[in-house]
Amino acid sequence: MTINQQRITEHAVTVDVGEAFYNPHTTTDREITIASLAAFDRTVDHIETYLDTFSATGIRGLRAAAELGLVVTLNDRDPDAVGTIKRNIVSNGLGHCCEVTNEDANVLLHKKRFDVVDIDPFGSPAPYLAAASRSARRMLAITATDTAPLCGAHLKSGIRKYAAVPMNNEYHAEIGVRVLMGAIARALAVVDRAMVPLLSYARRHYHRVYAGVSRGAASADRSIAQMGFIAHCPHCGFRIPVAGLAPIMPDVCRICGNRMQATGPLWLGALHNPAFCESVAQELRNRESGGDAIKLVEICKCELAVPTFYDQHRICHALKIPPITIDAVIDKLGSAGFSASRTHFSGTSFKTDADIREIAEILR
């Protein structure tokens, strides 16, 4: 079967791929999108309109219409993709609640307002954040697939796109998510709105942020107050968050005396709202979604709300000791009086409020 002949079914929606782009590896992410929209409508604020800004086959927007009853606008700049979307709307009987547009994303976002704006481009969402921040009334769903710039592998590209200095270290995936969230928070603040984090994660080469939109300059100020930097010692692994957009940064590591490096500005606040994550997980269970989606959201729900995580294998290698299970690490930290949890970013890593010296003493 060729891609032009391929038919894809997800829940109640079947689409012809045609000439449009379809990524089978992001089915889990679409499951989480539908569950997040349902959870938001049920527990946060009522939503009626949804923009799928880069629709391709239209499968995400069509599922939002078919499963949630939303009024959906499906947009794509590619005329071939628009033709595919129109055919898929007809074949799924969704013409009464779906509109198709063939516009530049920024033009459309400046022209119309939607309860939910979903930005899932190929590459960076940075060029669309300003317009999306004006267009979204209640919720933003933002994807970035340019993980190399976000995570510091392509440093100068990351600086240009996100006005932040990323860092390519053992917790670079979380830095990428926090740099993205910082860019969203700043874009919203320009129009006196605030980002309210609901669920944020990194999976494969895919960073995704779900955030409520709160209005008012005071809310925007509180959001910006959660921006800052992370000072990191590449020698011993000590790191510390430093709040503010122009803070005084520590120059020397207080544990080993080596030079510290800085990454930011980025979001230092919570990545997730645990109650919202539980609502999303319940929606996923109710919809009999795949186990990967449920597991991801469940881990996010229980993730400790501290910046950065620690890779146990890296620490054990430095200490010349064998690794133990992550659950055993978490138990040891808890017994020593520290908070700790698993992290969705890595199966061999954990989050804790202990510092690297305290962790090393506990694991020896």
Q: What is the pLDDT of residues 134-192, one digit of tens each?
A: 999 999 999 999 999 999 999 999 999 999 999 999 999 999 999 999 999 999 999 99
- How far is it, in rounded angstroms, from Cα 274 to Cα 348? 22
What's the CA gap between 292 and 209, in Å, rounded?
18
pLDDT over 50 (residue 2): no
- Helices marked H in 58-101: 59-68, 79-91
Q: Structural domains in the chain?
A: 3-302 (3.40.50.150), 310-363 (3.30.56.70)
CB 200 within 8 A of CB 269: no
The pLDDT tens digits of the residues spanning 56-68 come to: 999 999 999 999 9
Secondary structure percentages of the chain, helix, strand, coil, to 5:
40, 25, 35
What integer pLDDT is reported at residue 238 of this predicted model? Answer: 98
Whether 352 contacts 333, CB under 8 Å: yes
Q: Which helix (H) or strand (E) segment is 9 a member of?
A: strand 7-10
- Give tens-digit pLDDT for 3-35: 345 899 999 899 999 878 888 888 999 999 999
Per-residue confidence (pLDDT) for residue 20, from 0 to 100: 81
**Residue 77 token pair:** 């700049």
> What pLDDT, in 10s, does the model give residues 351-363?
999 999 999 999 9
Check pLDDT > 70 for residue 1.
Answer: no
Query: What pTM value is reported for the model?
Result: 0.96
Q: What is the pLDDT of residue 291?
A: 94
Cα separation, 161 vs 159, whole angstroms: 6
Instruction: Please say whether the beta carbons of 305 and 232 come within 8 A.
Output: no
Mean pLDDT of the chain: 96
pLDDT at 5: 52
pLDDT of residue 18: 81
- Provide the 10 A C-beta neighbour count for residue 273: 23
| Calpha distance 102→290 (Å, rounded) | 33
CB burial of residue 319 (10 Å; 0-12, 13-18, 19+) = middle
Determine if the peptide bond prior to 265 is cis (ω within 30°).
yes
Is the sign of the CA dihedral 185, 190, 196, 199 positive or negative? negative
What does the pLDDT look like over 219-229, one tens digit per residue?
999 999 999 99
| Interatomic CA distance for residues 51 and 31, integer angstroms | 17
Kindly state the average pLDDT of the residues 332-345: 98
In percent, the amount of the chain with pLDDT more than 70 equals: 99
Q: 193-202 pLDDT, tens per residue?
A: 999 999 999 9
